[in-house]
Amino acid sequence: MNKTMKFSVDKRDAGTRIDIYLTKKISKFTRSFLKKIILTKNLKINNTVVSSPSTKIKTKDIIFINILSRNENRLIPKKIKIDIVYEDNDILIINKPKGMVVHPGAGNVENTLANALAYKYKKNLSNLNGELRPGIVHRIDKETSGLLVVAKNNLAHSSLGKQFSHHTIKRKYLCLAWGVIRPLSGRIKTLISRDNKNRQLMTVSETRGKVAITNYKTLRVYNIKNIPKISFLECELETGRTHQIRVHLKSKGISLIGDNQYGKKNIKFKRIDKIFLEKLINIKGQALHAQTLEFEHPTKRKWVSFKTNVPDDFKKMLDLLDKLHS
């Protein structure tokens, strides 16, 4: 079982790093153990998840820390269906569904892709990213569907990791967005950093963060009576920052359909096509799908390419828009 502990910061501790503060308050745990809890998003300050051990605390901050038991600090194998697109001795290509988290974090230690991999492959995956992330080379957001590569050994993981670092892996996403992006095709290059007001969100910054590059093109603009303008886009990543596509599209004045973090919330329509509204309600998460993944195979040294279809809710919306637009 998890144990949640609560603390209220007084004046003498203001300005202290959160990991140092907790080490003083919970003396039976080492600082490294507490850092691990923070990094796995099991800490809240004033009801906001904090994942940086160096975060400075302020007077009257309310801190909640979720202490993991030994079992919960280890990966729990769980029988969960995995959609395997390709497999050989070195890699797995997985089509991740919407709603599945890639690895354990705050509030979810059992129902992730990592738990499913641990059940199916036992210890027969790369361990370069630690016990909680067997074979995990990269990830995509919980409510994004599509392709992921998993390393079955450390040699494959190292090769893939270098390709991600050198931005030679090709990843293309399909998405549906409210509005029209201008210009219709282009390259977005910005810095992306954590939002100052909400640390769970990312934002474009002119002065801090990591370089993020998204190439995009508009495949089609749907301008249909009683339906707001919608764009069907293809986005190719040069970098892979957290929430990159969603943040970049927001910076250009548009947002993904179904994106409750960066998009429009509680949209009210004066007039709306009833069939469209039905399909819209049935879209789960954001309409964003990692469709293609291409890279040099880590041992065969040949270029490999994988592609998967958009999920059913996305396809039904596309089919309707195409039908009404024609």
Query: 243: closest CA among 179, 194, 302, 291?
Result: 194
Q: Are 311 and 145 in contact (CB under 8 A)?
A: yes
Query: How far is residue 22 from each of residues 19, 70, 202, 232, 308, measured CA to CA in Å?
Result: 5, 19, 26, 48, 46
Number of Cβ within 10 Å of residue 99's Cβ equals 11
Amino acid at 104: P
Catalytic one of 19, 141, 259, 313: 141
DSSP-assigned letters across all residues of 192-247: EEE-SS-TTSEEEESSSSEEEEEEEEEEEEE--TTS--EEEEEEEESS--TTHHHH
Reduced to 3 states (helix: H, G, I; strand: E, B; else coil), residue 47 is: coil
d(CA 219, CA 228): 17
DSSP-assigned letters across all residues of 281-325: HT--S-SEEEEEEEEE-TTT-SEEEEE-PPPHHHHHHHHHHHHHH
Q: Determine the angle formed by the axes of helices 18-25 and 31-39, rounding to 10 degrees.
A: 130
CA 69 to chain centre: 26
Q: Are 250 and 262 in contact (CB under 8 A)?
A: yes
| Cis bond before residue 183 (omega within 30° of 0) | yes
Q: Is 13 a catalytic residue?
A: no
Indicate which residues carry an active-site annotation: 141
